[in-house]
Amino acid sequence: MDITWGVSASHHLPWHWLIAVYLFLAGVSGGAFLTAALTDMYSKDHNIRIIRTGAYIAPVSIIIGLVLLVFDLGRPLHFWKLLINVNAGSVMSIGVFIISIFSGLAAVYGGIVWLASNSGKRITKGVHAAADEIAATGKGIQSLRKPVAILGSLFAVGTATYTGFLLSAVTTNGLWHVPFLGIQAVPFLPILFLVSAMSAGLAATLIGAGKSEITIYKKIDLVFIVLELILLAILYASIKSVFFSGTMGTIFWLGVVAIGLVVPFFLTVYSLAKHKSVVVPVSAMIVVGGLCLRFFVVYSGQMFK
């Protein structure tokens, strides 16, 4: 670095892997919550393993994400100033509140689901009188289950979409700010990140679903995969090819497209046709693809802005 005669000091990227992982975890959390809450409210089978896995993944991953985020701050101990100094024109300022509320709702919902499954066990075993008491309070709290699921679902969508708006609000960045199909008022990333979040959150939840019947979920994931492939084709056509060059190109084509979408697509079709279960490897690949997508967007956007 010779600023007298050489080039200007090599600038490192402001946002690095912590932010990519955080955006990914926020997406997984939103997707897992929706998977659990919608199954809880609308599914006839009421697959308890899906509900439980999703309800636990949601608070855990969003809280890990928030911890990473605080550590990435230049002044981690000052994070609370985000809560008292508000800029309504800043997407991040609004997002702080969306994510905080969502984290709270996800934790409450996770707790309700945990209480329900736990008190159930204690009743059947019928051990102590104290256990019956816990079960009674548990039942009182259960009346909150539906309202929390509904409100949480709204904030889950808000959180997943927010991760896209956070980047798309940076108007000086050619990748992050790219509009959807050239329509200036509609940013592209919130749509892409919402679909990817639903897909990755559902996939993460299915890993914990065990041997239960999940054909419907596989079909839903297939829809997400196809949607995401279409969206990525639109993205590829909308931005400069330099964004897909070098290491970023490898992450995009190998991580996002091949491992994250194309292979899971064919394996899911195969498993539906042959009634074979490949759900764990397929879901793991989709989750890895979701992570690669956040890395690609965060890094490539800053490297070639």
Partner 1 sequence: MAKQYAMIVQVAKCIGCQACTVACKFQNEVPDGQYRTKTPAIGPKGTYPNLSLFFEKEACQMCKNAPCVKVCPTRASYKNEDGVVLVDVDKCVGCKYCMTACPYDARFTNAKTGAVDKCSFCYEIRVGNGQKPACVSTCVGGALEFGNINDSNSDAAKLLAKYKAQVRKPEFGTIPNVYYIYEGVK
How far apart, in whole angstroms, are the C-alpha atoms of residue 176 and residue 166? 9
Task: Tell me if 160 sits within 8 A of 199, measured CB to CB.
Answer: no
Residues in the chain: 305
Rule CB under 8 A: say whether 124 interacts with partner 1. Answer: no
Contacting partner 1 (CB under 8 A), which of 42, 44, 74, 181? 74
d(CA 102, CA 155): 5
Say whether 247 sits in a helix, a strand or coil.
helix
Please choose, out of 81-89, 115-123, 134-142, 258-266, the segment that lies near partner 1 by the rule CB under 8 A: 81-89
Determine the straight-line distance between the first and last CA of the chain, rounded to whole angstroms: 22
d(CA 270, CA 276): 8
Contacts of 185 (CB under 8 A, 6+ apart): 179
* Contact by Cβ (8 Å): 15, 302: yes
Binding mask 158-197 for partner 1 (x = CB under 8 A): -----------xxxxx------------------------
Using rule CB under 8 A, residue 9 touches partner 1:
yes
The reply to whether 43 sits near partner 1 by the rule CB under 8 A is no
CA distance 253 to 232: 11
8 binds partner 1 (CB under 8 A): yes
13 to 42: interface string for partner 1, x by CB under 8 A: -xx---------------------------
Distance CA 283, CA 263 (A): 11
173 residue type, one letter: N
Residue 1, classified by CB atoms within 10 Å of its CB into exposed (0-12), middle (13-18) or buried (19+), is: exposed
| Residue 20 or 58 having the CB closest to partner 1 | 20
Q: Is 71 in the site for partner 1 (CB under 8 A)?
A: no
Rounded Cα gap, residues 32 and 193, in angstroms: 14
Does position 6 interact with partner 1 (CB under 8 A)? The reply is: yes
Spell out, one character per residue from 92 to 111, where the chain touches partner 1: x when CB under 8 A holds, - when not.
xx--x---------------
The residue to which tokens 């999940």 are assigned:
214
Q: Is 3 a binder of partner 1 (CB under 8 A)?
A: yes
76 versus 182: smaller Cβ distance to partner 1? 76
Beta bridge partners of 180: 183
Q: Which is nearer to partner 1, 6 or 126 (CB)?
A: 6
Using the rule CB under 8 A, give the single segment among 53-61, 76-84, 153-161, 193-201 that binds partner 1: 76-84
- Rule CB under 8 A: is residue 91 a binding residue for partner 1? yes
Phi-psi region of 208 (alpha: psi -120 to 50; beta: other; left: phi over 0): alpha
15 or 17, CB closer to partner 1?
15
Measured from the CB atom, the residue of 4 and 124 that comes closer to partner 1 is 4
Stretch of 75-83, 101-109, 142-150, 288-296 lying at the interface with partner 1 (CB under 8 A): 75-83
Q: Which residues bind partner 1 (CB under 8 A)?
A: 3-9, 11, 14-15, 72-76, 78-79, 81-82, 85-87, 89-93, 96, 169-173, 302, 305
